[in-house]
Structure 1
Amino acid sequence: MGEKTYYVGRDDISVSNLTIFDVDAIVMRRSVLYRSPLDFDFILMPDLSFLQLQWNNYNFGINRKICCYSSVRFSGGLPYHRKNYIVGSKIWGISAFYRPVEKSTEYADLNNVPSHIVEVYGTKRQYKMHYVVVDGPGDKLSEFSDLYFVIKESLTSTQTWIDGRFTMEASCRCGHFNEIGSEALQVLFSKGLSIEAVKSRLKCDACGKKGNVEIHPLYSENTPDRLKHKTAWVSSKGRRYNRERTIPNNPELVRMYENLGGDGRDRVYLGDGAYLSKNGEVSD
């Protein structure tokens, strides 16, 4: 297929079964160096083709894209500088353009349109997806979408999070984000709580709202190498993970207790027969 443009709200956007929300989730991931199974920047596909995310900011909007190249090689210099990598020919690309929401009445129901608060040139504004541009052969796009859905489906299982020793990044629409450590998640999941059950109980520390939080898995220092993406960086030294400190009483669970309205005395009910104490202890 050649280059094709799809406008949100007008066209039926489906890129190799990827919805606009799938495209948004792929291209809008923050640049955290290969920290998540859902991050595809500087990642090698099974056939060793190379994926790269690209970002461009303009006064009139922002552009986020993912491109696949036939190859990549290191040209020398500092290994973590993008400019030191030379890519081969482009195979395919998916580009999403977002424009600022100028009026509160425009796209009032933003739940149906991917939107984000982004800081551009020192100013934070809300941007919504306006159109998507797709370029490349359908079979190659399908190979990527198949990989994406396999990963996405596996992450609906708590066992995947347990085996991968993932931490959970919780990001709010207000722009604030935080993390729940893998140790705290292990405790919650061992009590039978589902991923959705944990998500539904999260409240933003900044704006105080519940229900506006999205969650993403992050690799931890203890995630087995076999479960991580194969990256194109020339050296595996210097992987920049946030080290998880071992602190008594799981501070993430203590924070969750406070967010759930704990009074400092009684336990709060999590559901499924589980209770959370002020010290961050989960019990039946």
Structure 2
Amino acid sequence: MSIALTLTILVCALIGFVTEVLPPDIIALTVTVVLMVCGLVTPEEGISGFSNSATITVMAMFILSAGIAKTGAIQLVRDLLLKWGGKNPHQQILTMGLLVGPISAFINNTAVVAVFLPIVEDWCRKQRYPLSRLLIPLSYVSILGGMTTLIGTSTNILASGLSEQLGYGRFSLFQFSKAGVFLFLIGITYLVILAPRLLPQRKTIEESMTQEYGLKDYVSELIITPRSSLVGETVNSSEIQRKFDLDVLEILREKVRFA
């Protein structure tokens, strides 16, 4: 009976994850509560994961990643992408991989992709290269880079915690490095050679609308000089939109975007 009930709960959880009727964290907590209510696990077993060192480490890595992203330190990499990337798609993916991979070895993959996504988007816009051909390589190089260290990805941290629970001891920071670096080199070589040929060249919604409705003639980029009367003013206080009958879509200040 307990086996059938456990399988039923597992199937329901999988359906919930696939259909995304609720956020994954809500589904996971619901499954934990149901297992405890049904007596399949004890309350101590159900909440033991919250005090696990692996869980705390993952939480700490998210905080660290968010802090680094907020400081804008990773934004400096944008200049290197523009400088070394060029217009050759193979060179672009190689440059992105060599920059993103090592960073994702020490910062959570999700945070790395979130920070680099607008950078790569801006890079593609300046180089007039389709963004669709760099999104998957960006995701993959962050995953491959995260495999090279213990803290690079949550699964490595969880595996280390499980190994300690079973009595085999914890993994060291660079214990994954030999296999991880080998797989990273194979993966980035594959992406550099085949990704530009296999990935589609799709236009973004912005590009398609710009071409279809002729928006290019109505969208402009303005630079506010240090001596401008607009310095120190907000969009509302300057009344620039009312005076010139325009809409401010975005403000870029010191490489930080304000939409």
TM-score by length of 2: 0.30
More helix by share: 2
Larger Rg over CA atoms: 2
Structure that is richer in strand per residue:
1
